[in-house]
Structure 1
Amino acid sequence: MAGVPEMFHDDWKDFFEASYDGIIIADELGRIVYMNRAAERLEEVDKEYILGRRAADLLEEGIYEASVTVKVFRSNQKETIMQFKGGRQLVITGVPVFKGRKIKWVYINERDVTELVQVKRDKMAVMKQLEKYKKELERMKKRNGEENVLISNSHKMQENIDLLQRIAPSEVSVLIIGESGVGKDVFANWIHEHSLRKDKPFIKIDCGALSESLLESELFGYEKGAFTGASQKGKVGLAEAADQGTLFLDEIGEMPLNLQTKLLRLVQDNTFLPVGGVEEKKVNIRIIAATNKELEDMVEKKLFREDLYYRLNVVPVKLPPLRERKEDIFDFIQLFLKRYNDKHGYRKTISQEAVNGLYRYSWPGNVRELSNIMERLVVVTPKSEIDLADVVQAIPNYGESGIKTIFEQSDSYLCAMDAFENEYLKTRMSGCRTIKEMSESLGLSESTLKRKLRKHNLRFTSRVKNDFGGQS
């Protein structure tokens, strides 16, 4: 069988002419001695005008803007250049073929990458758009979750929600007042998300979580070398980071008096002086503040600046505690049950008795406590259905809180005792499987227990486990 060179000796030009890529060959003097049809097409020239001419001359005459052949002869190695011809983008590679130490031939390959580059650009554009959609979807999910929290059957809360919808698009300062856990940060973020600054930063700082010196440097930033241990590059403060957006000052009642003067300037003029700085900085921010304290009392006691209070308190929003909006508890239970089922991959349900038990609790920690308890119930409860016994176990002070609520709501001694007996029987009933078991645990006869259950319209449901692990 003949060797490969012998086989293809007469056909190499046919192979080159069949190539989709442009192929050019230059000799040892840099003269173009071969150009296939694809190269003519890509360079938009007549090869008869090119053949026999030196690449350096074509470059000098301006026929070529750049010449890979010239570069190869200069470097004695493989070279690649990028060129634009007739609206097409070409990648041109020149490979030297040596005879001894001298270049004998230069093999040049021209590839049209216009479509490939466009596909890459389109892909990048699509990825960028997908990232934009992803962020928007995350924002929508977050917004939907927060708007669910804002849905309320309470008249007091509905008034607040109506107020928020009116003030959100404005630039007015807002002071959110309420106990810890009522959702002040959720409402602050809701205002930002429904304002004209929604696409700009929302920056939160907890004024009660930092020492005075650290709070000042975090809020206003500092210049390099401002104090011992300071970064030599300085630091941008949160007020500057919030430029064009919203600055949320949580627990504003905890801010030291010394810093209140500096904050007043920021609120009034949108200007501040970084720690160790000599030049003021100006920002464009909207300020929302929140507190669980009575700022008016603090003003009277000289613990809070009066002028700062009035600057912050342009529109006050007072959020009632959960115990004063109990009609919302049922919706919150369903909201958090779904949220934590989705988060942890469960499909837990909750019994009506457990819902009633959660409703009767006084919720000193407000919505935050309810959210935490619901997550605990979803994760810890071994059964598929959360019942009253799980609720009592999940809330350590459930009984104490329940008793306190009964005493507060009862008008007379007899009513209080009657309500207490009702709650007591419900709690003990959830931990027993039979009437007999419950009567023995309480030290009552079965007839007495049955009479008391009938009095409170409580029906005992037997939950004895059968041989298959179910309940009968």
Structure 2
Amino acid sequence: MSPFDAALPSTEDLFSVIEAIHDNVAIVDHNGVMRWVSSCFERNYGISRDRIIGRTTYELEAEKVFSPSVAALVLKTRRVVTLTEATRSGQYNIVTGVPIYDDDGDVSFVVSYSVDMRYSRRLHEEYQKISALVSPNAPQTSGGLPFSGTMRAIAATIEKLAKVNTTVLITGESGVGKNVVARLVHHLSDRTNGPLVEINCAGIPAPLLESELFGYEAGAFTGASQKGKEGRIALADKGTLFLDEIGELPLRLQSKLLQVIQEKQIVKLGGIKPVSIDFRLVAATNQDLEALVEKKRFRSDLFFRLNVLPLWIPPLRERREEIVPLCLSILEEMNAKYGTEKVFSEEVKRHLAAYSWPGNIRELRNVIERLVIVSSGGVIKTDELPEHMFRHQENPESPIGKSLPDALETLERRMILEAYKGCGTTTGVAKALGISQPTAARKIAKYKNEASGEG
């Protein structure tokens, strides 16, 4: 058995992965018979599995369970189809059907997945909010949400990075939203009309990762498709390739990736002919790549190639003024998702603001979704918070015992240094905090000297 075969997940594992995806997934055979649907499909289409599986997509289309049928169109055209469908419940979805071919080139199955258009609209609205945030004329709040000086400086930096066609390295703890930043870089760039191809280097077994990235020719190894496969890098042509968890990339593949970056060409596994490729690379990691370089676990030449435009995203505990507004925004989203009207008690808000959030925004979203589901009344109370939150409370520096001028200077020092850390230029700090560039330069010099013990 080859390493490729050994790394292949079982059918049971594959279906478990599909069930974890919050999209509506269905599998239809070559005769149009529904063979499998996800639990999410059941919920969103309002029809149980036993009333779907075994029936044809044509019958369900005639009954207006969904209309039109993307699977029927895929079977007819033998190609990928994306369309807008209506459901019997009055919901509209964006649905894509993908043909799966057998060894003879015939369509054996169609896999379809769909997303509620309301969710797509929310994504668009979030994009509009962030676009407004990074605008030079953006107000102090965007979409009703206040942002810290650090994040406003970072947002301004993202806009600049997006316009320059070179590599971006995004760093920060797990859960801070590095993938969101990567997508924003793509959508604000000149490549926005091209593909954005994402791959998590830690999420794919090493024996499979090479073929996923570089693709392979027909019969390149045992278990390879007789049609060959296009790699993710090639699919990013004229667009953006986002490599998340780049620190997990094996050394051998680091060398191959470096060669692709330098030569702008790619060779499939089992192939000999290089193909020119034009893509922008955005990478992200929660690891210290410089430390990995010192330990010989990451190539220094690749690190220097990646670190052209570094961008650090601070953890949530370092931008506490955003925590409660973020919680309220996510609560509104979860209320819409579950059809509830929950609110936080004032005591709960204080606990949310004081918690250290080691998992950052990802953890925050999970906690709030859990609270919406398990809370018994309309008001979410303190005794419904997860127990671990009470063991990891942090008390931000208190102004009690300080004079007002000293307290104000403490706050100013923190805002100035955070903004400078996020932006890196006096002009960026001035723009983010709404002060003049000379004032920003003077205060940065003052507080940096204090921090180093000078002056």
TM-score, normalised relative to structure 1: 0.55
The separation in 2 between residues aligned to 1:191 and 1:317, in whole angstroms, is 11
Q: Which residue is 2:161 aligned to?
A: 167
TM-score, normalised relative to structure 2: 0.57
134 and 383 in structure 1: CA distance in 2 versus 1, 3 angstrom threshold: closer
> Is 2:387 the counterpart of 1:396?
yes
> Is 2:307 the counterpart of 1:313?
yes
Q: Is the 8 A contact 1:143 1:190 kept in 2?
A: no
> Is 2:297 the counterpart of 1:303?
yes
The separation in 2 between residues aligned to 1:193 and 1:139, in whole angstroms, is 15
The separation in 2 between residues aligned to 1:251 and 1:130, in whole angstroms, is 34
| 1:364-421 Cα shifts (integer Å, max 9, x gaps) | 1001000111111112112111122222xxx23112212xx35x9699xxxxxxxxxx
| 1:25-50 Cα shifts (integer Å, max 9, x gaps) | xxxxxxxxxxxxxxxxxxxxxxxxxx
Gaps of 5+ in 2: 1-81, 86-91, 95-116, 134-141, 400-455
The separation in 1 between residues aligned to 2:118 and 2:277, in whole angstroms, is 30
2:123 to 119, 126, 142: 142
Pairs aligned (count): 277
**Structure 2: which amino acid aligns with 1:400?**
R
> Is 2:246 the counterpart of 1:252?
yes
The separation in 2 between residues aligned to 1:287 and 1:134, in whole angstroms, is 31
| 1:142-173 Cα shifts (integer Å, max 9, x gaps) | 14225657765222222111100112133121
Secondary structure of 1:243's match? coil
Secondary structure of 1:397's match? helix
The Cα of 1:182 is off from its aligned counterpart by: 0.3
The separation in 2 between residues aligned to 1:225 and 1:343, in whole angstroms, is 46
> Is 2:322 the counterpart of 1:328?
yes
Q: Is the 8 A contact 1:188 1:288 kept in 2?
A: yes
The separation in 2 between residues aligned to 1:345 and 1:355, in whole angstroms, is 22
The separation in 2 between residues aligned to 1:236 and 1:282, in whole angstroms, is 14
The separation in 2 between residues aligned to 1:148 and 1:322, in whole angstroms, is 19
Q: Is the 8 A contact 1:202 1:248 kept in 2?
A: yes
Secondary structure of 2:390's match? helix
Moved over 2 A (4+): 128-131, 133-141, 143-153, 408-411
Q: Which residue is 1:156 aligned to?
A: 150
- Structure scoring higher RCO (CA < 8 A, sep ≥ 6) equals 2
> Is 2:205 the counterpart of 1:205?
no
Give the alignment of 1:164-203 within 5 angstroms: 164-203=158-197
Q: Is the 8 A contact 1:168 1:194 kept in 2?
A: yes
Q: Is the 8 A contact 2:234 2:266 kept in 1?
A: no
- Deviating more after overlay: 332-341 vs 262-271: 262-271
214 and 273 in structure 1: CA distance in 2 versus 1, 3 angstrom threshold: same
> Is 2:277 the counterpart of 1:283?
yes
**Structure 2: which amino acid aligns with 1:161?**
A
The Cα of 1:265 is off from its aligned counterpart by: 1.6
The separation in 1 between residues aligned to 2:230 and 2:350, in whole angstroms, is 50
The separation in 1 between residues aligned to 2:325 and 2:239, in whole angstroms, is 32
2:223 to 218, 229, 245: 229
The Cα of 1:252 is off from its aligned counterpart by: 0.2
| 1:203-235 Cα shifts (integer Å, max 9, x gaps) | 110011122221100011111111111111111
**Structure 1: which amino acid aligns with 2:238?**
Q
Secondary structure of 1:231's match? coil
2:346 to 321, 335, 352: 352
The separation in 1 between residues aligned to 2:241 and 2:182, in whole angstroms, is 10
154 and 271 in structure 1: CA distance in 2 versus 1, 3 angstrom threshold: same
Gaps of 5+ in 1: 1-127, 412-472
215 and 343 in structure 1: CA distance in 2 versus 1, 3 angstrom threshold: same
180 and 144 in structure 1: CA distance in 2 versus 1, 3 angstrom threshold: same
The separation in 2 between residues aligned to 1:358 and 1:314, in whole angstroms, is 37
The Cα of 1:287 is off from its aligned counterpart by: 0.7
The Cα of 1:141 is off from its aligned counterpart by: 3.0
The separation in 2 between residues aligned to 1:174 and 1:258, in whole angstroms, is 22
The separation in 1 between residues aligned to 2:118 and 2:194, in whole angstroms, is 17
Q: Is the 8 A contact 1:148 1:335 kept in 2?
A: no
**Structure 2: which amino acid aligns with 1:278?**
I
Q: Which residue is 2:108 aligned to?
A: none
The Cα of 1:129 is off from its aligned counterpart by: 11
Secondary structure of 1:289's match? strand
Q: Is the 8 A contact 2:162 2:189 kept in 1?
A: yes
